[in-house]
Amino acid sequence: MPPGHSPLSLDEQPQDRRVFSAELEDHTPDAPLQVGAGYTLAFGIYPKPRAQAIAQALVLDSLLHSPDSDESVTELTVQVDTDDFRVFDRSRPLFVPRSGRSLNKARFDFVPLRNGPATLTAIVHREGNFIHQLRIVLPVGAPGAIEVKSTGRSLGAAEKLTRRDLMLVLEPGVNGTYECRVIGPVAGHATLPVTREQLADAIESARAAIGQVVEQTEGDTYPFSDGLDIPKVAERSALQVLARAGARLFQKIFSAPRGGEDARVIGEGLQRMATDGRHQLQIQVVSHDFPVPWPLLYLGDVRPGADLSWDLFLGMRHVIECIPSRHGFPALDVEIASHPQLSVGVNLNTAIDKELNGDYVACQQTWWSETALSRPRVHVIPRSLRDEVLTALADNECADQIFYLYCHARAKGRGDPGGIDASALELTDGFLTLEQLNLDAPTNARLPGNPLIFLNACESAELSPLFYDGFVPYFMSKGARGVIGTECRIPARFATEWAQQFFDRFLDGVPLGEAVLGLRRSFLEEHRNPLGLIYAVHCDSDTVIAPALPRHAGHSQEWT
């Protein structure tokens, strides 16, 4: 086994898994590569770990085949990216049967370009759906360790996932920057001209713009805070503010002055695809430590006199899903089974009504009670206190399939007292911190219902995209299938109405991504209200209730 490589234990390998393996053909792994010499790197799927592999990772069979699919062979794609090697073909198919080894190997001929540690990244995907990534560092010119970093997720029943038109894979690079790899009509790779600090500033500027919109006045009223229907003047003002903020965020990511041509090419390609009015795109963002509010990116001209349009916001015309690359998803089908019943945990901060002098929580309690009566098999479990929520998350028999939270939240960063662990949810009787959740409801206490988490954080001045840097990995590690959340503060009335209309669509059987996109469009067209752009989907957008639970007269369960 080559230095620096940790072999997989056969004793620990689950029965439902196979191995994605990389091997150097006709070359001793312990010997360094030489500049100018030709080599072949072969990738394959095998039933067991391979002694001759230089890198390998476990993948679930459910990534490859759905149990009820008629497909006997699945075609995957292996795509490699590197600046340290000349590669003669960067994309190869890999054909995988229902059992055993792959029918072929995805072979890549390459030549080292320089001495020293040399990096090659291989991404495996199925029609634009990310499955796995292997980052391999090989010694060139002198002996050294082979280094391997493996990241991936469990897509579950891959045949039921729709094709993705574009995938962006983002992860930290050298000197505090980020690496971006693109899989789509044209493959590409770029070092983005933004550091973590600059990215945080850009996101904060976008949040401030949203805050400016929410807090704007018209006479003695606050149109966005007080209601759903937005006057035309306030809508146009919001468009100007958010378009400029979204355009600036796009510039800082893809076209800052210190950036290279490769980053600008990726940005221009995204603009070109997303502004083609003939197509609605399915966009997948796989990222590590890159909490960008993607729906808010503005792809048009914002100079004085430019014709601004809501359609030029990325999230107003396209389905976007954000997948965290460092924490794998459980091996799930995209269908949330509603038979014999659908269990919904409804976790509400009941103090919000008194605090805001409104009926936001009361409306939702009534709505869920009526939903339980009118939709067969919907089983509602109400909670409002910290201990109730903590107990549910600590219970490895908790059957919640949807875990809805309507509460306040606060985000803390690495530089704040307590760090990310101080981030918290505020329930009726106080805060529930991320630290407390990890200690008292640890991630090894898995949630068997694999719930979809909907975190509807209203009126939360301290909420930011960095909030999800802690909570999304926590929920995913506990077996959640995904998280829907607000990118920043959102008015309580809007948050209430958005949730009710979202669940109406979702329970009717509309896939998650389509439900969110359709609701953004509906609020804009019917109410001139664009605040749906604040909601982000950290989940497979194909997720769906099956069978659907249409509303009709009948009794399931009253609110208790």
CB burial of residue 139 (10 Å; 0-12, 13-18, 19+): buried
- Per-position b or e across 86-99, b if 16+ CB within 10 A of its CB: ebeeeebebebeee
- Please report the pLDDT score of residue 167 as a whole number: 94
pLDDT at 158: 47
Q: Over the stretch 459-503, which tens digit does the pLDDT of each residue have?
A: 655 555 555 567 888 898 898 999 998 877 789 999 999 999 999
pLDDT at 57: 84
Cα end-to-end span (Å), the chain:
60
Band of the pLDDT at 53, cuts 50, 70, 90? very high
Look over the chain and give the mean of its residue pLDDT values, rounded to a whole number: 87
Q: What is the pLDDT of residues 315-339, one digit of tens each?
A: 999 999 988 765 445 556 789 999 9
Q: Are 338 and 549 in contact (CB under 8 A)?
A: yes
CA distance 487 to 469: 12
Average pLDDT over residues 13-31: 83
The yes-or-no verdict on residue 557 having pLDDT over 80 is no
Give tens-digit pLDDT for 501-520: 999 999 999 999 999 999 99
Residue 328 or 251, more confident? 251
- Looking only at the bridges linking them, the beta strands covering 85-87 and 55-60 are unpaired
User: Which pLDDT score, from 0 to 100, does residue 9 have?
Assistant: 41
Q: All domains of the chain, ordered by start, with CATH?
A: 10-156 (2.60.40.10), 196-324 (no CATH), 335-546 (3.40.50)
Q: Is the pLDDT of residue 271 over 70?
A: yes
Average pLDDT, stretch 106-121? 96
Residue from 83, 90, 77, 7 nearest 41 by CA: 90
**What is the arithmetic mean of pLDDT over 221-235?**
93
Q: SS3 of 318, please? A: coil
How many angstroms separate the CA atoms of 372 and 346, rounded? 12
pLDDT > 70 fraction of the chain, expressed in percent and rounded: 88
Angle at alpha carbon of residue 515, lines to 514 and 517, rounded to 5°: 65
Residue 151: band (very low, low, confident or very high) from pLDDT cuts 50, 70, 90: confident
**Closest C-alpha among 263, 251, 249 to residue 177:** 263
Q: How far is CA 353 from CA 359, 456, 552, in A?
A: 5, 15, 30
173-222 per-position pLDDT tens digit = 877 889 999 998 767 889 998 888 888 888 888 888 988 999 888 888 89
What does the alpha-carbon distance between residue 516 and residue 498 come to, in Å, rounded to a whole number?
9
pLDDT of residue 541: 93
pLDDT 10s digits, 37-47: 999 999 999 99
pTM over 0.85: yes
Summarised one tens digit per residue, pLDDT across range 412-453 is 766 677 778 888 999 999 999 999 999 999 998 899 999 999
Measure the CA–CA gap between 239 and 550, rounded to whole angstroms. Answer: 36
Give the pLDDT confidence score for residue 11 in this predicted structure: 42
Residue 50 has pLDDT above 80, yes or no: yes
Q: Are 55 and 138 in contact (CB under 8 A)?
A: no
The amino acid present at 406, given as its one-letter code, is Y
CA distance 181 to 219: 48
Strand partners of residue 76: 94
CB atoms within 10 A of CB 163: 9
Cβ atoms of residues 41 and 120 within 8 Å: yes
Which residue carries 């009566």 as its tokens? Answer: 373
Check whether 59 has a pLDDT greater than 90: no
Evaluate if residue 58 carries a pLDDT over 80: no
Instruction: Scan for tokens 């292997």, then name that residue.
Output: 134
What confidence tens digit (pLDDT) does each residue in 82-93 have? 999 999 999 999
- Say which residues have a Cβ less than 8 Å from residue 262's Cβ, sequence separation at least 6: 188, 189, 190, 191
pLDDT of residue 15: 54
3-state SS, residue 2:
coil
pLDDT at 60: 63
